Amino acid sequence: MEEKDLYEVLGVARGASAEEVRKSYHRLARRYHPDVNPNDKQAEERFKEISFAYDILSDTQKRKLYDEFGAAGLAKGFDSDQARAYRQWSEGTRRSPFSQTFVEGDLGDLFSELFGGRAARGGPFRAARPMRGQDVEGEVTVEFMDAIRGGEVRVRVARPRGPGLPDEETTLKVRIPRGSDEGTRIRLANQGTPGTPGGPPGDLYLTLHVRPHRYFRREGRDLLMDLPVSLPELVLGASVEVPTPDGPVSMRIQPRSQSGTRLRLRGKGVPDRKTEARGDLIVRLIARLPETDDPRLETLAQEWVELYGEIDLRKDLKQP
């Protein structure tokens, strides 16, 4: 059975602070505590997993060993110095999988102590258990519309090849899921540190950062934008062109609309990453005066003063 990742058990990122680990543990412990879930075996098992994960990740030394060696680093009697020495040696041999036999010498004793094998002078040594490579964390910045529509970016990755050898650089094509947002994590299986000896490589996790858009803003699955409109368009009504992630669409402004009015274009927002259901595009009308030095602008404004009459536009505003 595949061992559960302790960070996933607590629902925190690998780079989580001690305070984040503590808060997540207390939140989950309250939810799955046996006193809250009497006679619930699943909740009891979940509580045990949470407690074990917290015991490891709240201890600086245990967490350090787990981050470097995975579950193998938690075994009783595990020797981290010998593990590193073995890893350096196995990477240097560049053979996979490992299937040699050693008949004598300290190297056989080293493997026996580290992996529980049985070595004796003049006798065979049981091959070491393959170790999975470490997961790797990275970050990538994408354009706003690529996060909304989905897209593809290229990421340069440097993989270690062993002591004394330069890292191997490669370029990966990474698919950005539709509807991604700031902080979305993408898992690239088997793109982490190579495993030894002959074990599977770890995974690469990329955290997305999204560049701001020049006029779209995002709130959940909805998009918001301010649309400049003229005074005649507000007073008389108009059909105007509005940009959306799917291309421009025509939108109707009703006569005598106010500046600040919000109009909703349904289904023109952000797609849900799982269901593909779309949010809406909310358009706020913003009145813009003509940019002109024509003196008629002041003459027209005087006529508007008469239309307002004694109306107090700010009567609902109170002193703080």
46 pLDDT higher than 70: yes
User: Percentage of the chain with pLDDT > 70?
Assistant: 80
Other C-beta atoms lying within 10 Å of the C-beta of residue 168: 12
The two structure tokens encoding residue 52 = 């074990």
Q: Determine which of 118-132, 179-193, 254-268 has the lowest per-residue pLDDT on average.
A: 118-132
Q: Which amino acid is at 10?
A: L
* Three-state secondary structure call for residue 171: strand
Helical segments of the chain, H only = 6-10, 18-32, 41-57, 60-69, 80-93, 106-115, 144-149, 231-236, 296-308
Residue 45, Cα to own-chain centre: how many angstroms?
28
Report in angstroms the alpha-carbon separations of 268 from 210, 248, 250, 265.
Answer: 19, 10, 12, 6
Edge-to-edge order in the sheet of strand 136-142: 136-142, 204-210, 185-188
Interatomic CA distance for residues 27 and 23, integer angstroms: 6
The two structure tokens encoding residue 48 = 């045990």
CATH 2.60.260.20 domain span(s) along the chain: 136-210, 217-308
pLDDT of residue 118: 41
The two structure tokens encoding residue 45 = 């098992």
CATH of domain 136-210: 2.60.260.20
CATH 1.10.287.110 domain span(s) along the chain: 6-115
146 pLDDT higher than 90: yes
Interatomic CA distance for residues 297 and 123, integer angstroms: 101
CATH architecture of 217-308: Sandwich (2.60)
User: CATH homologous superfamily of domain 6-115?
Assistant: DnaJ domain (1.10.287.110)
104 pLDDT higher than 50: no
Contact 112, 118 (CB under 8 A): yes
pLDDT of residue 96: 34
pTM more than 0.75: no
